[in-house]
């Protein structure tokens, strides 16, 4: 017996007509129930067609490099560390005593980090920073050694600050000697390049303007960088130094780092015109990049 249906309005029907009517009603309602899910599916597909491009756009924006960060005026993304053209020259005889395990002879001692280590304020003292085997620019971490106390080395490092020593364990480095030296006279606006105490070149340079002076002190070359272009603000070539400026250098990711770099603005050479860096010509920058090794002591005097 079929239930849930009433007789149609109008005149009464016989039993066969009633059965036919009720079956017809049941078939229509069953068909409606079968179609209803299809309508929902179509509606869901319509929503998905609209929503999918939006979702894809959001995902792409989140995965894109630099998503969520403001663009900068210039970065060091194009700077490429340049490997030394030759290893530092070193005499064959090694000192056999309680002194440093480094070849004897003239020249500055440099330490190449062989594994990450802590830079300390004093021998075995408070930590200043954690040093990796690579600098922020990707060069091998190489520091200038100026003191030696037991198993500790007093080094010139960016993280220690201007004219301050940091200390690293002797067990974290390998040592070598280099014969090069750079001297910058701010008063004369001159860069002097020496090898084994002999003057090789003297270059007239641009120095920091009065509002952004080049800091004096004892520093070292930390990075040898190629920009890949002659026309940018740093020309072709950069020797980054351990020196820090009291202010951030506008327009690059080095923050407050000072460098000796080339410039296409030849009119600035000999002037107090930079943001604190020392500028040389493009040709001079190329020569420096091809000759000056990491760790080279750099004395900037007023």
- Give the pLDDT confidence of 112-155 residue by residue, as tens digits: 999 999 999 999 999 999 999 999 899 999 999 999 999 999 99
Give the integer Cα–Cα distance in Å for 209 and 248.
Answer: 14
Q: Taking the model in full, what pTM does it have?
A: 0.71
The three-class DSSP label of residue 124 is coil
Instruction: Report how far apart, in Å, the C-alpha atoms of 183 and of each of 2, 194, 297, 299, 302 are.
Output: 107, 8, 8, 5, 11
Q: Reading across the β-sheet that carries 142-149, which strands appear in turn?
A: 127-131, 117-120, 166-169, 152-156, 142-149, 108-113, 173-178
Mean pLDDT over each residue of the chain, to the nearest integer: 78
The three-class DSSP label of residue 225 is strand
**What would the two tokens of residue 177 be?**
């000697």
The pLDDT score that the predictor gives to residue 143 is 97
Higher pLDDT, 145 or 74: 145
| Beta strands at 257-262 and 237-244: parallel, antiparallel or unpaired | antiparallel
The pLDDT score that the predictor gives to residue 62 is 27
Give the integer Cα–Cα distance in Å for 10 and 138.
Answer: 93
Instruction: Report how far apart, in Å, the C-alpha atoms of 54 and of each of 47, 57, 88 are.
Output: 11, 5, 58
């Amino acid at each position: 017996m079929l239930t849930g249906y009433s007789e149609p309005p109008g005149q009464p029907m016989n039993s066969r007509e009633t059965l036919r009517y009720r079956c017809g009603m049941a078939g229509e309602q069953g068909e409606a129930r079968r179609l209803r899910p299809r309508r929902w599916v179509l509606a869901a597909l319509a929503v998905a067609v609209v929503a999918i491009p939006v979702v894809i756009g959001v995902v792409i924006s989140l995965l894109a490099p630099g998503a969520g960060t403001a663009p900068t005026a210039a970065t060091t993304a194009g700077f490429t560390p340049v490997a030394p053209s030759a290893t530092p020259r070193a005499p064959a005889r090694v000192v056999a005593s309680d002194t440093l395990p480094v070849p004897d002879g003239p020249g500055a001692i440099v330490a190449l980090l062989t594994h990450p280590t802590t830079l300390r304020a004093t021998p075995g003292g408070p930590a200043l920073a954690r040093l990796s085997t690579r600098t922020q620019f990707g060069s091998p971490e190489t520091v200038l050694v100026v003191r030696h106390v037991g198993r500790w080395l007093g080094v010139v490092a960016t993280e220690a600050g201007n004219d301050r020593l940091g200390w690293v364990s002797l067990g974290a480095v390998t040592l070598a000697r280099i014969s090069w030296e750079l001297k910058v006279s701010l008063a004369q606006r001159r860069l002097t390049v020496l090898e084994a105490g002999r003057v090789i070149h003297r270059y007239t340079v641009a120095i920091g303007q009065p509002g952004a002076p080049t800091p004096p002190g004892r520093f070292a070359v930390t990075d040898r960088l190629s920009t890949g272009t002659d026309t940018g603000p740093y020309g072709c070539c950069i020797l980054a130094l351990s020196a820090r400026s009291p202010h951030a250098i506008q327009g690059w990711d080095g923050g407050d780092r000072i460098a000796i770099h080339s410039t296409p603005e030849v009119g600035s050479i000999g002037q107090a015109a930079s943001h604190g860096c020392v500028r040389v010509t493009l040709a001079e920058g190329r020569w420096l990049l091809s000759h000056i090794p990491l760790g080279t002591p750099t004395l900037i005097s007023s």
